[in-house]
Amino acid sequence: MIIDSDAGTDPDDTCVAILVARHRSRFPAELMITNDETTKWAKARFLKALVEATGHDIPVAGGLPSLKKREDDLADKAGLSPDIEVDRDGVAKIIAVLDAHPGVDYIGLGALTNLDAALAQRPELAKRVRLFQMGPAVAGGFQRARAQYNARIDPGAFARVLRQVPTPTLIATHTTWGNWGGPAKLPLGVYPDDDLGKKLISTDRRDLALYGRHLAAFVASGKDCSILHDPATLLASQEPELFDLVEVDVIIDDQGWIHLTREACDALRCLENGRIGCVEKAITGWSDPPDQHRVRVRMSLAAEYDRIRARVIELLGV
């Protein structure tokens, strides 16, 4: 397993790193690599310190710097990323892990810049990648005007990787499906004043305390909560029964949107009542997708929010 994370902005990646470090037999990660990285490797420094705080050991390496050339991130500004040395050869390490195994679960929690670079060097390794990717959003079914963050940060890399690896699993949860007037408190949200948030902010455990400080900094930056998108994506690799998954053909465009093909719309319409609520707007407002490469994907139509949240809390050992 490889975890490709943009830890240091939204604390949901922080949660994943703790889960993986504490449960090596369940999540056999051989590498954590960073994407959307800063020019000072703040994300790798943060992840390395976080893994160390769990009392376990997983190799951490910095990935390619973000196209945005950002100097720091939220965790760095909040003083959570110590000035330590980190490996910066993440792409070479991805290749080494893929070379060593016939199949590797690749947990994509941000941009796909690193995997794209690895596959550009060694395209024959694509068939070994079992990709579980958080996002993206379906065109016509997302409330925001811009494509989902993980896809738009490096949309070329995103499209190339999804076209190369065998049937990627794309995990969307409530906000990625559009956030059309959902409940006031999101079921996968971690709020500073809910049961989990309060424990994180008052804990003595070093790893959870870092998560709590990160959450506090995130909320202070203007967000209501951190949503457990990334832990849900990690769980999808081991417990797919927590999701309603369907296999369809889609088009990935150059901005990071996915478009349903006509055949995908027809197949989705044939599903039982209630299963396609999350893509209903995309289906009713459907128009011809751009004429590009078709990609077979497995995408989530629903997620067992309460079970996912309970599982995360159990595995955190809060």
Instruction: Please say which residue, 225 or 265, places its beta carbon nearer to Ca ion.
Output: 225
Nearest CA to 190 out of 316, 72, 75 is that of 316
Say whether residue 13 binds Ca ion (CB under 5 A). yes
Cα–Cα dist 51/116, whole Å = 25
15 binds Ca ion (CB under 5 A): no
Stretch that binds Ca ion, among 1-9, 53-61, 124-132, 138-146 (CB under 5 A): 1-9
In angstroms, what CA-CA distances link 20 with 117, 284, 287?
24, 40, 41
Name which of 178 and 231 has its Cβ closer to Ca ion: 231
Which range binds Ca ion by CB under 5 A, 21-29, 87-95, 105-113, 170-178? 105-113
- To Ca ion, the closest distance from the beta carbon of 109 in angstroms equals 4
The one-character DSSP state at 37 is B
Q: What tokens appear for 54 in the block?
A: 């769990």
Asked if residue 110 binds Ca ion (CB under 5 A), the reply is: yes
Phi/psi at 294 (5° precision): -85, 145
By CB under 5 A, residue 109 contacts Ca ion: yes
Q: Which listed residue (1, 3, 6, 53) binds Ca ion by CB under 5 A?
A: 6
As given in the structure block, the two tokens for residue 149 are 């963050």
Beta strands in the chain (DSSP E): 2-5, 31-34, 60-61, 104-108, 129-134, 169-171, 189-190, 226-227, 243-252, 258-260, 294-303
Nearer to Ca ion among residue 6 and residue 253 (C-beta): 6
Neighbour order of strands in the sheet with 169-171: 60-61, 31-34, 2-5, 104-108, 129-134, 169-171, 294-303, 243-252, 258-260
How many residues bind to Ca ion according to rule CB under 5 A?
A: 5
The residue among 256 and 289 lying less far from Ca ion, judged by its C-beta, is 256
Q: Determine the interface stretch with Ca ion among 104-112, 251-259, 278-286, 292-300 (rule: CB under 5 A).
A: 104-112
- Per-residue contact flags (x/-) with Ca ion for residues 197 to 236, judged by CB under 5 A: ---------------------------------x------
Residue in the shown chain whose Cβ atom is closest to Ca ion: 109
> Which residue matches tokens 């929690």?
109
Query: Which one of 12-20, 41-49, 276-284, 304-312 is the stretch in contact with Ca ion (CB under 5 A)?
Result: 12-20
If you search the block for the tokens 């049937």, which residue do you land on? Answer: 167
Contact between residue 155 and residue 196 where contact means Cβ atoms under 8 Å apart: no
**Interface residue list for Ca ion (CB under 5 A):** 6, 13, 109-110, 230
